[in-house]
Structure 1
Amino acid sequence: MSNTASPQAEHFNQLQAIVLAMPMARTLGLSFKHMAPGKTELEIPVQDAFTFRPGQLQATAIFAIADFAAVSAAGTLLPAGWVNATIDANIKIVAPASGALLRARGRVINASKLLTVCAADVYSVNSSGEETLCATLLGTARNIDTAPRTQ
């Protein structure tokens, strides 16, 4: 077996490093559980600091994990040297976000050169591992070429 990582694995590792370097991701305790082209799965623990009543998360934390999951899924399809950023998102909270952790599954709806439409479903996960859908997000990511422009 070779010691060199595939270009896809390197890309996914770079994407995770970029996301996990963000202060909000670190504050939330965000972790990546799965990545595939056009898909991600992320988790955050339910922390008292982000609740508005005991054990129930505020919308801010729900939106954050949904956004990270959706836009990270979009990032899995970017070519080398490109990054992305959220330019629009709409979330619908459909149930309380409570339990041991939140799990968000991001996916790409439509990818193009400059814009990617992406989505995420967020689940409350109890201590037994049972999931309950608590929110869904539809977003748009702007794809940005970071290579220096030559004139």
Structure 2
Amino acid sequence: ELQELTTDVRGFEAPVSMHPGAVQQRFIDEMKAAAVNDLAPAVAEVIVGTEQPYLQVVFDTRIPAMADGRVAIVGDAAFAARPHAAAGSAKAAADAWALYEHLGSHDGGIAEALKLWEPGQLALGNQLVDRVSAMGARSQFSNTWAPGDPDLRFGLYGPGK
């Protein structure tokens, strides 16, 4: 279904995003009908009034390693987590700050400092992706997303942290 949805009006697949004017009319019509039938009138009005909607696929990515020799991969290049925890910028900053600390406090060279830096940042990235994946499942599949639930608070290191 996603491949069909991300096939543009010319018949080319756009697996990450589709700019305004590229979304097939049948999907626009379906979205507008669902908005009128399922959403509050004020929200439906905005959706119905959008002349050329665009499409952005939201997904998570993770990598098995963040360091290779003297090269480090940080931020969204290493872990792209869906926005439910509002932690993307914080993750990039945490990667960079931890990298700075390891490079500044280790006399064994850059490659050695990166080897020591990497495990903690991999653990943090994987924990974040696991958490936002669970949050997404609650909102989209199990319908257990409840406003005010403390487990759903924003944060990089955990809810509210």
Question: Is the TM-score greater than 0.5?
Answer: no
Higher-Rg member (1/2): 2
Q: Normalising by structure 1, what TM-score?
A: 0.30
Q: Normalising by structure 2, what TM-score?
A: 0.29
Higher helix content, 1 or 2: 2
Higher strand content, 1 or 2: 1
* Structure with greater contact order relative to length (CA < 8 Å, sep ≥ 6): 1
